[in-house]
Structure formats: structure tokens, C-alpha cells
């Protein structure tokens, strides 16, 4: 029986596990990642890749972010979200989504140095996994997690090498269960869950066919097919999703969860594709087909001692809003620096308690939002008269009635317009993606109240440096070269960062003293004229919400740890207090 020793063992190399491995290796922490299969994702499940997720990739390195842009479909081709009877048939309506609407695009541009892309999971995982392995992760594929036991000093995990059948034991200081929606790690750790699994049934049909003639003039990721008979369980209607424009596709089609999952063979898949595309002669090259369930469940605690769960292991929900992989990667970003600092002895183990405190509310929020988004198709069905039965002739008549020159027809048209526009809570919910604010022992209050959201918090991102929020992005300028640099580029990279203005030079001196005392690599940026970074446009001064002599301390995951409006009487004392508290020292 082989025994392997490592600091962190990661079960799973999906978006959550691969991101954790890449981050830990970047931070210099020894880690092993196992996956029971011989390779990474073989179907393009996740695809909508939001700005916050790209910021994590950017923090891993510009080459990692660039690789994502290289393989991803550009935001400009993502956003004409179409509702139609079939791709060849009548269009019922559409809405601009994923930052395509000019007003939404402006908000995206202001919020982040990164832009959204459509990056299928089959292409995202190799980027993260490759980064991890190149930087030091020991990866073992075809290796299946069986069980774990923890004691005061570490975790002993038993795995099976699926090539030889041999059992291997891996001893680690920490165990991360990134093993997906049926997580055995979560089960074995006895973590509590709220909600239900299997609330709907869906199938994926992944195929190649050139559909350019139906879609290139209205470029989108998602084409929703609403026709009599389409509303069968699952996500509620037929979906034709672009995987690669415009020759590779994924159909998502519901089945009744109370019946056995259907066998999806080539004939069945072709029939569904022909029906949704609206071309009875369509030939497809079937790449894969599988069924999956719609879930509504999240972990109420994501930590049991030295064992952590993340990604779908902790939050299980439908693909609506495209939150799964994005949130999984942000779980990793939250946990990795904490594990690294505890492993290096820079923080006490109590820092790790903040992971669950910060991420469980996010898990609850996204599971609720994703399931609510399914329910919010209801008004579209209602406006079209597609509810309440399977009488196709009646549904047809009701759909046709929206074209009538009658008051009832006008009311139906208005209801449909409103119902489609309301779907921005699924397809353009910038706030859901970007407004995550943490409350835990790893954030120190500055005694200011949390700023209330001035607009709908699900739709609009609101920048703030209130402790716990993500540091606002503002472009500043490199004093030597004049190049634009995001404030987010100045922090992250596994270390704490202090921002101040010229009047706060004493904070900078104090940060160097306290950083040395605590053995921390603490980056310092004094932003102002004739300094390394200059705020020519004043955007940072406006976003920072502090005075010129104040300071903002930012955690390695780019969330604000603490801030001070003005210079403290003893800045070193103030910083020492804050950092000791956050680092549980």
C-alpha cells in the first residue's frame, strides 16, 4: 500500500478542484489532486464565464486569462437571447443579455478589467489543470476517493488506483472535497445540507451541425424553443445552446423526473434536434448524450475540522444564471489563500473558519437564485397561453392570439414583453455575479454601516470599499510607463495589500514594519502624483471611499479586509491589531 504525504489533498479536478490546485501551487503549497477519470470534463457543461471568475484567472497570471480569452467565444457573440418556436421558425421575442445591452455593457466596463466570455468547461478545465500541474500540483488521474478519517494532526484518505486496482493512502494536513454534486467527501464528513436533490429531470444532447443560417444574424449563446409540448419538466422548455459558433451545440431538454430517465440514443437525439431546430431533414453528428437532475440544495456548513467542501459538492442547482463553475472557482479563491497562510504558519487555524462563514451565504443565494430563475419562465408561458395542459391545439391557438388586433391581443403582447424583459434576473444579473460581500472573522469592521444598494442588488453591481466587499476596480496609471493598471492588478497574488494616498505615507511605513514582524509579504501602494501609480482621472479617489491619508487593506482574494478614513495616531498599532485578528494570531 503506497503512502503519499502532502499539505493539501484535493478530490476532483473540475473547476473547483483545478482552481484550488492552481492557486495553492501558485502560493507555493504542496498539493495533490485526484480525479477518478482518466481526463477532465468530457462534456461542455459550464460555459458562461463571468467577470469575477476571469478576475481570478487574471490573478493567476495574464497568460492564464489570455488563454481563456483565446479559447472563449467573445462577449459580443453571446447576448441576443432568443425565444422562438424553433430556430427555423417564428421568433417570439428576445432580450439582450450577458452585458450586450449598451447600458449593461457600460456597467460591465466600469466594474472590472475583465470581460465575460463563453468558455465551455471542456476548454476551461485544461487551462486551470494545466496551470496547476505546471506550477507544482501532483495530479493523479484514474484515482478514486474511497474514504477519509481525520485526527488532530491531519487527514488520512484512502483512494483506489483504477489502473492497477491498488489501494493508496494519502496523508494530508487538509482535505478539499471538490468532488461534485454527489460528493462523497461531504457525505463522509457528515456535513449538513438544506433543500432537495432531483427536483427536475434534464438531458444534454451534444452535437455538431452547421446552424449558421439560423443564428449568425442574431448571435447568442442561448436559443429558447417554445412550442406546444416543449414544457416537459426539467428546465421548462427546449434550449439550443451554442458551444462553438455556429457548428457545435448542446440541446437541453426536460424529462419527467417522476418517470425513469430516458435512453438517449442517436435516433432519439436526432429527432429532438430536428424538432427544436425546425428542420426535418437536419443531420447531426452526435457527440454525447446524458441525463442529469435539477437540484435545489446547499451545504449549511462547508467545513468539518480539516475537511472542506466546495463547488457543486457544496451548492447544487440548475445551470440558470450560469453560476455553478463561476461560484466553484470563487470558493477556491476564498479558501486557497487561507489554507496557504495556515500551512505556512502565517495564520492560526481559526482563519479557516471564515471560509464557511463567508461562502455558505453565497451558496444559499446562488442555489435560491438559480431555482427561482426557472420559476421565472412561468410568466412567459402564461403570456403565451402555454400553461395548464397538454392540448396542443389549444396552446397553438393561444400562441397565435398574440397577433390579434384586439385588446386581448395587445394585452398578451404587453405581458409577453414584460415577461421576457423580467428574465434579466437570469441573463443579465450583474449584481448576482459581482456583489458578493463577506462577513466573518477574516474581515474587520471600520464601524461604518454597510452601504445600502441604491439599485436592485441582483441586477446592478455596486462598488464599495466597505470591509468584506470586493475591492472596486479602477484604472490607474503606471507612473513610469503610463500604462493602465487595474487596482485589482495591484493586489491578489496570494498576499495582503495596503492602498493609501500621498498623505498616508505613514501607513506605508507601518505596513512594512508590521509585515516584517508577522512574516507577511505585504504589498504597499501609495497612489498619487509622482508615485509608482498615478490616479490621473481621479477614478480611484472616487471609488476608494477614504481620504488621502486613509488606507485600505485588501486580502489575497481581493476583498477588503479593513479600511481607515484617515491616518491613525499609531498606524503600526492599528495595522497590527487588524492583521492579527484576521490571521487569528
CB of 209 to ligand FAD, least distance (A): 18
88 binds ligand FAD (CB under 6 A): no
294 binds ligand FAD (CB under 6 A): no
31 binds ligand FAD (CB under 6 A): no
What is the C-alpha to C-alpha distance for residues 355 and 414, in angstroms, rounded to an integer? 46
Cis peptide before 461 (omega within 30 of 0): no
292 binds ligand FAD (CB under 6 A): yes
SS3 494: coil
16 binds ligand FAD (CB under 6 A): yes
46 binds ligand FAD (CB under 6 A): yes
Residues 459-488 that bind ligand FAD (CB under 6 A): none
The residue among 47 and 105 lying less far from ligand FAD, judged by its C-beta, is: 47
Residues 138-177 that bind ligand FAD (CB under 6 A): 144-145
Which letter does DSSP use for residue 132 in this model? H
The residue among 242 and 252 lying less far from ligand FAD, judged by its C-beta, is: 252
For ligand FAD, the binding residue among 6, 9, 10, 14 (CB under 6 A) is 14
180 binds ligand FAD (CB under 6 A): yes
What is the C-alpha to C-alpha distance for residues 539 and 110, in angstroms, rounded to an integer? 10
**Dihedral over Cα of 557, 561, 564, 568: its sign:** negative
311 binds ligand FAD (CB under 6 A): yes
Radius of gyration of the chain (CA): 25
CB of 404 to ligand FAD, least distance (A): 37
Residues 192-211 that bind ligand FAD (CB under 6 A): 204
| Residue 475 neighbours by CB under 8 Å, 6+ apart | 113, 484, 485, 486, 537, 539
What is the C-alpha to C-alpha distance for residues 573 and 577, in angstroms, rounded to an integer? 6
The residue among 225 and 399 lying less far from ligand FAD, judged by its C-beta, is: 225
The residue among 292 and 562 lying less far from ligand FAD, judged by its C-beta, is: 292
CB of 419 to ligand FAD, least distance (A): 22
SS3 558: coil
324 binds ligand FAD (CB under 6 A): yes
Distances (CA, A) of 508 to 234, 471, 542, 549, 568: 55, 18, 21, 11, 12
- CA angle, 262 as apex, 374 and 376 as ends, to 5°? 5
CB 8 within 8 Å of CB 172: yes
SS3 447: coil
For ligand FAD, the binding residue among 9, 21, 34, 299 (CB under 6 A) is 34
230 binds ligand FAD (CB under 6 A): no
The residue among 57 and 491 lying less far from ligand FAD, judged by its C-beta, is: 57
Going by C-alpha positions, the residue among 476, 479, 373, 352 that lies closest to residue 429 is: 373
178 binds ligand FAD (CB under 6 A): yes
- CA angle, 78 as apex, 77 and 83 as ends, to 5°? 115
Which letter does DSSP use for residue 495 in this model? B
376 binds ligand FAD (CB under 6 A): no
CB of 183 to ligand FAD, least distance (A): 7
The residue among 37 and 271 lying less far from ligand FAD, judged by its C-beta, is: 37
CB of 160 to ligand FAD, least distance (A): 9
Instruction: Kindly list the residues in this chain that would bind ligand FAD in the complex (CB under 6 A).
Output: 11-17, 34-37, 45-48, 121, 144-145, 178-180, 184, 204, 252, 292, 311-313, 319, 322-326, 328
Amino acid at each position: 500500500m503506497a503512502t503519499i504525504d502532502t499539505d493539501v489533498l484535493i478530490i476532483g479536478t473540475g473547476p473547483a478542484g483545478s482552481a484550488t490546485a492552481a492557486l495553492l501551487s501558485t502560493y507555493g503549497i504542496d498539493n495533490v489532486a485526484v480525479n477518478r477519470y482518466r481526463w477532465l470534463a468530457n462534456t461542455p457543461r459550464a460555459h458562461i464565464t463571468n467577470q469575477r471568475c476571469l478576475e481570478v484567472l487574471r490573478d493567476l497570471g495574464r497568460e492564464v486569462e489570455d488563454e481563456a480569452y483565446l479559447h472563449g467565444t467573445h462577449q459580443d457573440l453571446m447576448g441576443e437571447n432568443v425565444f422562438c418556436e424553433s430556430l427555423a421558425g417564428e421568433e417570439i421575442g428576445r432580450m439582450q443579455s450577458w452585458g450586450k445591452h449598451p447600458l449593461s455593457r457600460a456597467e460591465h466596463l466600469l466594474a472590472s478589467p475583465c470581460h465575460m466570455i463563453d468558455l465551455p468547461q471542456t476548454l476551461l478545465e485544461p487551462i486551470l489543470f494545466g496551470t496547476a500541474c505546471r506550477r507544482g500540483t501532483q495530479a493523479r488521474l484514474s484515482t478514486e476517493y474511497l474514504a477519509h478519517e481525520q485526527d488532530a494532526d491531519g487527514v488520512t484518505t484512502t483512494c483506489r488506483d483504477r489502473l492497477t486496482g491498488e489501494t493508496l493512502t494519502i496523508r494530508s494536513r487538509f482535505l478539499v472535497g471538490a468532488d461534485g454534486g454527489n460528493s462523497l467527501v461531504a457525505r463522509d464528513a457528515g456535513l449538513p445540507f438544506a433543500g432537495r436533490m432531483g427536483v427536475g429531470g434534464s438531458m444534454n444532447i451534444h452535437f455538431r451541425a452547421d446552424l449558421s443560417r439560423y443564428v449568425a444574424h442574431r448571435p447568442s449563446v442561448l436559443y429558447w424553443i417554445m412550442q406546444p409540448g416543449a414544457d416537459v419538466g426539467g428546465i421548462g422548455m427546449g434550449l439550443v445552446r451554442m458551444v462553438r459558433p455556429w457548428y457545435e451545440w448542446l440541446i437541453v431538454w426536460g424529462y419527467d423526473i417522476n418517470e425513469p430517465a430516458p435512453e438517449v440514443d442517436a435516433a432519439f437525439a436526432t429527432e429532438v434536434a430536428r424538432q427544436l431546430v425546425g428542420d426535418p431533414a437536419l443531420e447531426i453528428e452526435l457527440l454525447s448524450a446524458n441525463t442529469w437532475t435539477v437540484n435545489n440544495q446547499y451545504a449549511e456548513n462547508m467545513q468539518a475540522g480539516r475537511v472542506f467542501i466546495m463547488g457543486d459538492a457544496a451548492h447544487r442547482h440548475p445551470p440558470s444564471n450560469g453560476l455553478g463553475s463561476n461560484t466553484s472557482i470563487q470558493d477556491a479563491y476564498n479558501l486557497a489563500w487561507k489554507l496557504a497562510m495556515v500551512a505556512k504558519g502565517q495564520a492560526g487555524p481559526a482563519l479557516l473558519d471564515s471560509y464557511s462563514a463567508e461562502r455558505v451565504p453565497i451558496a444559499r443565494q446562488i442555489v435560491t437564485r438559480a431555482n427561482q430563475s426557472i420559476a421565472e419562465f412561468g410568466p412567459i408561458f402564461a403570456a403565451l397561453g402555454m400553461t395548464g395542459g397538454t392540448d396542443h391545439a389549444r396552446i397553438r391557438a393561444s400562441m397565435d392570439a398574440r397577433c390579434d388586433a384586439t385588446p386581448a391581443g395587445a394585452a398578451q403582447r404587453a405581458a409577453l414583453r414584460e415577461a421576457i424583459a423580467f428574465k434579466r434576473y437570469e441573463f443579465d444579473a450583474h449584481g448576482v455575479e459581482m456583489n458578493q460581500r463577506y462577513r466573518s472573522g477574516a474581515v474587520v469592521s471600520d464601524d461604518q454601516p454597510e452601504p445600502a444598494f441604491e439599485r436592485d442588488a441582483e441586477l446592478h453591481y455596486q462598488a464599495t470599499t466597505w470591509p468584506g466587499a470586493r475591492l472596486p476596480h479602477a484604472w490607474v496609471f503606471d507612473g513610469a510607463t503610463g500604462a493602465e493598471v487595474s487596482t485589482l492588478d495591484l493586489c491578489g497574488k496570494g498576499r495582503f495589500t495596503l492602498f493609501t494616498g500621498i498623505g498616508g505615507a505613514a501607513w506605508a511605513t507601518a505596513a512594512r514594519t508590521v509585515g516584517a514582524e508577522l512574516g507577511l509579504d505585504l504589498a504597499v501602494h501609495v497612489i498619487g502624483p509622482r508615485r509608482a501609480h498615478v490616479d490621473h482621472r481621479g477614478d480611484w479617489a472616487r471609488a476608494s471611499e477614504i481620504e488621502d491619508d486613509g488606507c485600505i487593506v485588501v486580502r489575497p482574494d481581493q476583498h477588503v479586509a479593513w479600511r481607515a478614513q484617515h491616518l491613525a495616531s499609531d498606524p503600526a498599532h492599528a495595522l497590527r491589531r487588524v492583521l492579527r485578528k484576521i490571521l487569528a494570531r
